[in-house]
Chain A
């Protein structure tokens, strides 16, 4: 008796809910859902994409999102596209959902990314011979801290970025330890503090990045990357270890779209296929905000203004 009643109630509830879904679903399903993260180039780029989609008659919805959880959201079709998939930071999460088949690897930008150990300019004077890694290793003691046992400290990215810095240190026999920051912001705080104290620091950095606009500095040069370096121990200076080399200098920057994107927003999908940002584009997008102090929407407008010849072909069918 009781369960009968329960089923009835459940049935009623579902049909009511279903009704709601229908009425809502129609209204919002076809807006392109673009995530906004917490760094400037992405925010500006997201707005640029949104404007382009609107030009071809799509509706756009911006959703603030963590840059890691966004991949699960895209896999569930809650987010339609991510236009700045960094190989270094998000490669692992991205490739996982691509592997599951719920996200499509659609575009690879011309922009090349590089992630490597990086130091502010003044460190070069303290440590002659830089940017060569051996020179860095030679003055490791200058980078030492109270709890590092006399070894130099390298501030790495969060562990979940899956960099192989610790393996690199070991393979190259460097007198360094890796300290993982918990977030990118923590790396910048370390850098900022080091610069204020004029103290040697070496951190994990990448390009394009707003940091270049704020502080001068350069990447450490490790042995040139080769695919064999991460597969064959015999390769490189250390015959017994992997990762005895630097990171690839041309990491990818991709656009990923959700599996259903093509079906729900064909026009936006067509535009997305043609989008392609260069290093300069990304740098400009971020500099407008980070160095010129513009607000995001103004920066997006300015980029669109100045690059008509670039984006106009993207929206012509």
Chain B
């Protein structure tokens, strides 16, 4: 009798064989060998990538182009230009212009303008939200949160436009030139998956330190989504509109500025929204190279173990994020209304209201100083409350959780870690290659194998496997927790809205803050790190599950209902399979978030790539930082390519594309 092996199983056969054969495999096949390419001094891996990068950095630092200036001179003058912009925004929002005797914008004006703008965009609800968020910053400014917020805002108001312009220009060129798109796309992928810590040193070398360097680091991270959305926006314009432009006799320039960009407006505004969110995500990390503002303050307070105070600062970040997010979304969704004729106050009622408000506060400021400065005695601090909560939880939950923690560690994590680090690297690369070949043919095979080989050759294989183990375990738990939450949340409108709001909050909440409570509960161990990763990385899987389930075409659900399906049957037989491709994409995003968080969890104390990156930071080893960063990025991209290929296949099978 012959056993019939299902086709997908064949994919893992070579992998399984290599596992069985491990005892007889030569040493070089088990752990990546070290070689002496380019000198044997202190090379960790097969190929001295680190030395190459450092040599390149040195070249760019020292070599004089055209005998006049080095690359670094150029980058340095760029950062001086950025400094000028920062001086302006800081002057407006924070410091005032002493030379002209002008003060910074008073708190009450910002609160009022936020409210009026919100009202104009979407009515009183957004007015309340926008005004409320800024009012929070003023009301809770006992610890200088208002000033810090203004520093953060001024940095964002420089980095967001720069990122926007870079993204826009690159996106336009890529939309017009297929060749450029082919180059740009992978670069964007790498930039978006590169851990921030890996390029901080390089930014410091070429752009210096301080808020200007923070702006550069932020821009590097923030522009890719804009470039992607610009490309998407331009490509999605209906061909008829382009034809209408052609038939009107547009030149290329007219076509771009009068037809294409305005027609892609929605996507472009979405890109702006993404940029703002990315900038806010960088608030804490940018402070590592000198960005002043909420991020730096937050780290200082954490260092003192003042968790409550740090939390208060973190909430300020969330509020700024929510306000800016809702505003930019509203701008994106705002359709122009027909022009009303009449006097100015009728044509531009909101602009007049804003001007009126400024005038009134201007007069009032002559009467009371509180217009310029929020009355200090009215400010509130909630930090004691938060500290109380943290204390309560650590006091009462530590004991019961310690049993769970120990069991989880001893019976689950340690064995898995052992198993993953036990696998020969040849087997890993074989498995990835087989899956790649199955899902996307030899192109995908080649690509993913190159990624894996880079990691093996760089000399950080074992570290990378430990990072992988933490991410995979977190991924599994995120799926187990996140998918049911997503199912529950998709059931009703209000649960969806509630869950999405919670996701928004957690996504913008600086993740550094929950590292410490997690350590207090779970000690310095992989459990802590994994727990911290799960808190953050569950967000996308929840979101995508909701999205997938809610976007199943209505008629299909109606067909199921009329066939007499119960809720359960509709869910498991119709909606889940239809939502499956989206859920895979959610897993993909969860993995990316996990990789991001694994680096931050390094601050707890893990023996993986993050520890190596911090070591590189200490010794100012820009090359090492970048190479390890690329290892992390390639772990992410390998999984990303495979999961996206899988999702596409499923979507195609269901005719959903």
Task: List residues of chain A with CB under 8 Å of any chain B CB.
Answer: 7, 10-11, 14, 17-18, 20-21, 24-25, 28, 33, 35-40, 43, 61-66, 68-73, 75-76, 78-79, 92-93, 96-97, 145-147, 155, 158-161, 179-186, 188-190, 192-193, 196-197, 210, 214, 289-290, 295
Per-residue A-contact encoding for B412-450, CB less than 8 Å = 1, 0 else: 001000000000000000000000000000000000000
Are B302 and A75 within 8 A (Cβ)? Answer: no
* B181 interface hit (Cβ, 8 Å): no
Are A78 and B605 within 8 A (Cβ)? Answer: no
Are B520 and A69 within 8 A (Cβ)? Answer: no
Give chain B nearest CB distance to A3 CB in angstroms: 12
* B21 interface hit (Cβ, 8 Å): no
Interface residues of B in 498-523 (CB under 8 A from A): 515-517, 519-521, 523
Are A147 and B410 within 8 A (Cβ)? Answer: yes
* B96 interface hit (Cβ, 8 Å): no
B407: A residues at CB distance < 8 A: 146
* Interface of chain A, main secondary structure: helix
Total residue contacts A-B, CB cutoff 8 A: 200
* Interface of chain B, main secondary structure: helix
Are B620 and A72 within 8 A (Cβ)? Answer: yes
* B290 interface hit (Cβ, 8 Å): yes
Are A146 and B409 within 8 A (Cβ)? Answer: yes
Chain A residue nearest to B78 in the complex (CB): A17
Are B304 and A24 within 8 A (Cβ)? Answer: no
Q: Pick the contact of B604 from A37, A65, A75, A186 — CB < 8 Å?
A: A186
Closest 3 CB pairs of A and B: A146-B406, A72-B620, A64-B296
Are B66 and A186 within 8 A (Cβ)? Answer: no
* B603 interface hit (Cβ, 8 Å): yes
Chain B residue nearest to A19 in the complex (CB): B77
Q: Pick the contact of A25 from B68, B80, B303, B611 — CB < 8 Å?
A: B80
Give chain B nearest CB distance to A240 CB in angstroms: 26
A147: B residues at CB distance < 8 A: 406, 409-410, 414, 525
Q: Pick the contact of B614 from A11, A36, A73, A160 — CB < 8 Å?
A: A160
Are B300 and A43 within 8 A (Cβ)? Answer: yes
Chain A residue nearest to B285 in the complex (CB): A66
Q: Pick the contact of A76 from B204, B291, B409 — CB < 8 Å?
A: B204
A62: B residues at CB distance < 8 A: 292
Are A190 and B523 within 8 A (Cβ)? Answer: yes
B567: A residues at CB distance < 8 A: none
B497: A residues at CB distance < 8 A: none
Are A183 and B290 within 8 A (Cβ)? Answer: no
Interface residues of B in 384-414 (CB under 8 A from A): 391, 394-395, 398-399, 405-407, 409-410, 414
* B84 interface hit (Cβ, 8 Å): yes
B395: A residues at CB distance < 8 A: 196-197
* B578 interface hit (Cβ, 8 Å): no
Are B398 and A196 within 8 A (Cβ)? Answer: yes
Known contacts A186-B516, A186-B524, A290-B304; A68/B617 CB under 8 A: yes
Q: How far is the CA of A107 from the CA of B83 in the complex (A)?
A: 32
Known contacts A73-B208, A183-B603, A290-B304; A155/B615 CB under 8 A: no
A65: B residues at CB distance < 8 A: 209, 288-290
B523: A residues at CB distance < 8 A: 145, 190, 193
B77: A residues at CB distance < 8 A: 17-18, 20-21
B406: A residues at CB distance < 8 A: 145-147
A159: B residues at CB distance < 8 A: 611, 614-615
Q: Pick the contact of B209 from A78, A160, A181 — CB < 8 Å?
A: A78
A196: B residues at CB distance < 8 A: 391, 394-395, 398, 520
Give chain B nearest CB distance to A122 CB in angstroms: 16
* B12 interface hit (Cβ, 8 Å): no
| Pairs A–B under 8 Å by Cβ, sample size 23 | A14-B74, A17-B74, A17-B77, A18-B77, A21-B80, A24-B81, A37-B300, A43-B300, A64-B290, A64-B292, A65-B209, A72-B201, A96-B619, A147-B406, A158-B611, A180-B605, A182-B602, A182-B603, A185-B516, A186-B605, A192-B394, A197-B399, A214-B305
Q: How far is the CA of A7 from the CA of B74 in the complex (A)?
A: 15
Q: How far is the CA of A16 from the CA of B523 in the complex (A)?
A: 55
Known contacts A39-B303, A196-B391; A186/B410 CB under 8 A: no
Are B605 and A158 within 8 A (Cβ)? Answer: yes
Known contacts A10-B66, A159-B611, A160-B619; A193/B605 CB under 8 A: no
